[in-house]
Chain A
Amino acid sequence: MSETQEGKTTEPEVDLPAWSLRRDDPRARALPRSWPHRIDRKWAWSGSDGAGVRVAIVDSGIDGDHELVGGLQRAVAVEKTADGEWKVGDDDAGDLAGHGTACAGIVRSFAPRSELWSVRVLGAGFKGGAGALLTGLRWAIEQGCEVVNLSLSTPKRDTAALLHEIADDAYFGGSVFVASAHNLDVRSYPWRFSSVVSVASHDGEDPYEFLYNPDPPVEFFARGMDIEVAWLDRTRIIAAGNSFATAHMTGICALILGKHPALTPFQLKTVLRETASNMRES
């Protein structure tokens, strides 16, 4: 594109390459600058209870009747049909391990009015592949879940490519994947992708303490050690692991999106960084 002496742009003769933008395209218009200069926790989530935010817990199922969970919006399971297809259907199996209920309870403790969606991908249908995981994640995006809690990872490289595609679709489609980093020194996915919010544990006791990691691939550390969580049969147990740190970040994401529903995943990540406990005034 060339500039005339009057400073006006002239239309080029040729088409722009794919994915480019003409400056007179509506997408080039000025966008409202809605953020204050200082992004702090008060701005980010004060007064929010997560209302209006759909949170999918992609895990072992959820016991919706547990007092710490307090009801589910919907529960589905991904199962393999007789002809080998993965299918999403309503699920009344509850929780097969306890883990999904634990994560749901943590999210609820932050965002009591968020909607919890249980997407069960673990269980009998899971053996032999990651098809259930991929199908469940895709389904959660299609339902418009704004936050997807994923305390799982897979070391399978062929699955990683498919996961990457789904994670990117989520990122651009307005669903935030909050994914557990591996607790061991293992290369697994999707937490290593830049399009997700990846979480590992710190050993502090404050549920609202989370740290931004300037040295990724793990981007955030949240409370993950010695936490009382909901478990099977309406019990509570003490548990530890990055999964639970992840559920803390999911809860905080739900709070922020409850107050600022228009934030894109990329903006949300920035808000998380600005409100991290280890940010200090320059």
Chain B
Amino acid sequence: MAEEDLRAAVAAGALAAREGHRPLLQAIVEVARAIFGARAASIMLLDHSAGELVFQAVTGEGEDTLVGRRISSATGIAGWVAQSGQPLVVEDVANDPRFAREEARRTGYVPKGLMAAPLLRDDRVLGVLNVLDRPERRRFSAAEMDLLGLFANQASVALDLLLQAQRIETLLGTAGDELEAVAELAMRIDRLDEDRRAAAVRLLRDLVDIVGS
């Protein structure tokens, strides 16, 4: 196991972090929905290996049923956005039976309009932010695209944190007892006063030397 991963796992002391990020994602979709006056908003995570998008947070239509639901990233508007890395805004997609296709029908709600932006972090596409059915009263403006971008940036940061927490959890899950023991040790040392902590760290360094040889 890479030292970097071990360090990440140990530093995670916050293993409960994963649950902490869900409300953040939820808050982002709720604010996005409110700002755009939209009927629904959602954040999807791109599962590269499965070629699927997974609903992580949903507000409005579908909020009770969609989280965890998977759709193909090979087709449809959200799929295009995830693959192209470009945002897209369309209105009247309800006229488009293939957008509504099984995917949208399965969600039980067929939107008339959709704004979708890719969630990017460094050089990775993490997922897609969707805002569904904003009011038709006005033309879509460049300013709204900027606003969508701001939300997408925020959502990307939150989603990245969630992914890191998941990764650490997986790491701990597959590494067996030793990492858990190290994490436990790190937490306990962290709680010591300064002198005892310094002593404990010296002791650990000695241990590393012994184990290392």
A interface vs B, CB < 8 Å?
Answer: 59-60, 96-99, 122-124, 126-128, 151-157, 180, 182-186, 188, 201-203, 225-226, 231-233, 235-243
A238 contact set on B, CB distance < 8 A: 90-92, 140
- Contact across chains for A155 and B123 when beta carbons are under 8 A apart: yes
Contact with A185, one of B83, B92, B149 (Cβ below 8 angstroms): B149
Confirm or deny: B13 has a beta carbon within 8 angstroms of a beta carbon on chain A.
no
- Contact across chains for B141 and A185 when beta carbons are under 8 A apart: no
- Contact across chains for B76 and A97 when beta carbons are under 8 A apart: yes
- Contact across chains for A184 and B87 when beta carbons are under 8 A apart: yes
Residue of A nearest to B119 (CB): A184
Apart from A152-B84, A153-B84, A183-B87, 5 more pairs, CB < 8 Å: A96-B80, A99-B88, A122-B83, A154-B123, A235-B95
State which residues 66-86 of B face A: CB under 8 Å: 73-77, 79-80, 83-86
- Contact across chains for B51 and A124 when beta carbons are under 8 A apart: yes
- Contact across chains for A226 and B139 when beta carbons are under 8 A apart: yes
Stretch at the interface among B96-104, B174-182, B200-208: B96-104
Q: Secondary structure of the B side of the interface? A: mixed
- Contact across chains for B123 and A156 when beta carbons are under 8 A apart: yes
Residue of A nearest to B85 (CB): A153
- Contact across chains for A127 and B84 when beta carbons are under 8 A apart: no
Question: How many B residues have CB within 8 A of the partner chain?
Answer: 42
- Contact across chains for B84 and A202 when beta carbons are under 8 A apart: no
Confirm or deny: B189 has a beta carbon within 8 angstroms of a beta carbon on chain A.
no
Confirm or deny: B161 has a beta carbon within 8 angstroms of a beta carbon on chain A.
no
| Given A122-B83, A184-B87, A155 contacting B122 (CB threshold 8 A) | yes
B142 contact set on A, CB distance < 8 A: 201-203, 225
A226 contact set on B, CB distance < 8 A: 139-140
| Given A97-B76, A157-B123, A180 contacting B99 (CB threshold 8 A) | no
A232 contact set on B, CB distance < 8 A: 96-99
A185 to B146, CA, bound (A): 9
- Contact across chains for B124 and A184 when beta carbons are under 8 A apart: no
- Contact across chains for B85 and A241 when beta carbons are under 8 A apart: no
A235 contact set on B, CB distance < 8 A: 95-96
- Contact across chains for A96 and B74 when beta carbons are under 8 A apart: yes
B86 contact set on A, CB distance < 8 A: 151-153, 180, 182-183, 241-243
B84 contact set on A, CB distance < 8 A: 59, 99, 122, 151-153, 243
Contact with A237, one of B83, B90, B152 (Cβ below 8 angstroms): B90
A235 to B76, CA, bound (A): 15
A182 to B84, CA, bound (A): 10
B145 contact set on A, CB distance < 8 A: 183, 201, 240-241
Residue of A nearest to B77 (CB): A97
27 contacts between A and B (CB under 8 A): A96-B74, A97-B77, A98-B96, A98-B99, A122-B84, A123-B74, A127-B48, A127-B83, A151-B86, A182-B85, A183-B86, A184-B153, A185-B153, A186-B120, A203-B142, A225-B139, A232-B96, A232-B99, A233-B97, A237-B91, A237-B92, A238-B90, A238-B91, A238-B140, A240-B140, A241-B86, A241-B87
B88 contact set on A, CB distance < 8 A: 99, 239-241, 243
Confirm or deny: B125 has a beta carbon within 8 angstroms of a beta carbon on chain A.
yes
Residue of A nearest to B91 (CB): A238
CB distance from A181 to the nearest CB of B (A): 9
A128 to B46, CA, bound (A): 11
A185 contact set on B, CB distance < 8 A: 149, 153
Confirm or deny: B17 has a beta carbon within 8 angstroms of a beta carbon on chain A.
no
Residue of B nearest to A221 (CB): B142
CB distance from B60 to the nearest CB of A (A): 21
Confirm or deny: B89 has a beta carbon within 8 angstroms of a beta carbon on chain A.
yes
B120 contact set on A, CB distance < 8 A: 155, 184, 186, 188
State which residues 115-139 of B face A: CB under 8 Å: 117-118, 120, 122-125, 139
